[in-house]
Structure 1
Amino acid sequence: MVDHPGPAGDELLDVVPLGPGVLAGFTSRAGGASSGPWAGLNLGLHVGDDPEVVAANRRALARRVGVPVEYATQVHGADVVLVPDGRDGDRRADALVTVSPDVAVAVYVADCAPVLLADPVARVVAAVHAGRPGLVAGVLQAAVAAMVRAGADPARTVAAVGPCIAGRSYEVPDAMRDDVAAVVPEAASRTEAGTAAVDLAAGVHAVLRRCGVTAVHVDGRDTYADPALYSHRRATHERATTTGRFAGVVRLLGPGGPPGG
């Protein structure tokens, strides 16, 4: 269901409900120290922004959620990492799972779908980067399976699908749309002009339901159409330039919760 509650009185994090003892939400361009095409809270280190500024932005998000935030090098695959795992900054994965209240897990995006998952009873959470290749590769199924191995029950798990490029904006060649639809039929879509397209949010929602996750909140905002969010495709089309990355982040709360939580 579309269930975007709007900003929760917080510039850095638009909080979404994933159950008691869980803090989860999505950032936007609001806040942060980046300028130029990355203006705002850019969390991506690989897009040409000043690394020191990005590091400051990441520290600001960590302060907001109250614990260090763990990221991975995202490769549009289906690998999942359970953190903490003794590695810092050298993970190559598109989903992170944790059972620790001492870290948050996050994925960064600029059109792909950031997906947050939590079983608040088993106290297992995950952040998943679900772009078109990852959706087809099975990253969501892999993330849910990793959560189950850590004790989660899909029937108890709550998911939030963050802002991503909408089907009406994500034009692709016919063959590419058909390749995606062969694996995830619900992702087949058309643009407003009637051309072939991929609907990531619809595809994510369908896959999660097939995994047994039925409580799914879909943000519904279109990154391509919303200047408050980073969009790689919009930046490429409008300015032929790079842009920043926003994030989905989730953590288990310890006693007392985080500042502002």
Structure 2
Amino acid sequence: MGGVIELAPGFHAGFTERAARNQAYGVGDAAALVDANRAEAAARFGFGAERIAWMNQVHGADVAVVAGPGLAGSVDAMVSTSPDVVLAALAADCLPLVAAAPAAGVIAAAHSGRAGTAAGVATAMVRSMAALGAAPDGIVVALGPAICGSCYEVPSAMRDEVAAAVPEAASLTRWGSTGVDMRAAVAAQLRAAGVGQVIDDARCTLEDPELFSHRRDAPTGRMAGYVWRA
């Protein structure tokens, strides 16, 4: 499991790996087993699993304002000012983001897949943090592992659709076909939104056997990105 990332004093984040086992329902594991995996990951990061807020991720750009743990609804980003809640985003090739604005006491998490990247979920997350009092230049975002632009092969029409919204998304794979670079696209969206600092875990989920990859291993588990206040 990945280590704890200090986004700012008192604001922490972390991304699980395959060693922490599957963190998601709906991909083949019994619910009780997923609950146990989540509890173990939470304990290793240093918080209780009962504090976690989750999303029913739908590859969109809607954002929920979260006051407490549990299911936040069918959204792909969450923001909170609660000092007790932990926000989680699941992924296994898509890009998980976690963020903190320490001066405003705001945390956020988002899931940015191909469709969500085109829809601007990262931008929507920053906008929602700002609505809670966060200055964009005071926001720190950590990008988790995701499939890289050199591995994420898609048809040219699909690549062009995402690139029409975010030009930085257009890529060529290492074998010369059209691809999408979600990490480059989201980084560009965050820069345009005025985010002050981006921490990047640039590991490719398809290439790294320590990470879950839907494209490589489907059906497969999901990793989680967590963000919390100490």
TM bucket (normalised to shorter chain) is over 0.9
- Specify which of 60, 65, 70 is matched with residue 82 of structure 1: 65
The alpha carbon displacement at 1:214 in A equals 3.6
Report the residue type matching 1:66 in the other structure. F
Alpha carbons 1:65, 1:104 under 8 Å: kept: no
- Residue matched to 1:139: 121
| Alpha-carbon distance in structure 1 between the residues aligned to 2:108 and 2:77 | 7
Report the residue type matching 1:154 in the other structure. P
| Alpha-carbon distance in structure 2 between the residues aligned to 1:113 and 1:154 | 20
- Residue matched to 1:92: 74
Map Cα deviations across residues 4-56 of structure 1 (whole Å, 9 max, x no partner). xxxxxxxx44222311110111110113xxxxxxxxx2001011111110011
Question: Is 1:243 paired with 2:220?
Answer: yes
Q: Pairwise mapping of residues 33-182 of structure 1 onto structure 2 (< 5 A)? A: 41-63=21-43, 64-67=45-48, 68-84=51-67, 88-89=70-71, 91-182=73-164
Alpha carbons 1:163, 1:223 under 8 Å: kept: yes
Q: Structure 2 stretches of 5 or more lacking a match?
A: none
Which has more radius of gyration?
A: 1
Report the residue type matching 2:36 in the other structure. A
Report the residue type matching 2:29 in the other structure. D
The alpha carbon displacement at 1:90 in A equals 5.9
**TM-score (structure 2 length as normaliser):** 0.95
**TM-score (structure 1 length as normaliser):** 0.84
| Alpha-carbon distance in structure 1 between the residues aligned to 2:143 and 2:74 | 22
| Alpha-carbon distance in structure 2 between the residues aligned to 1:19 and 1:193 | 40
| Sequence identity percentage | 48
Report the residue type matching 1:108 in the other structure. L
- The count of aligned residue pairs is 227
Map Cα deviations across residues 61-110 of structure 1 (whole Å, 9 max, x no partner). 3333314211110000111111126x833611101111112110000000
| Alpha-carbon distance in structure 2 between the residues aligned to 1:14 and 1:223 | 17
Residue 70 of structure 1 aligns to a residue in which SS?
Answer: strand
- Residue matched to 2:212: 230
| Alpha-carbon distance in structure 1 between the residues aligned to 2:90 and 2:58 | 12
Report the residue type matching 1:223 in the other structure. T
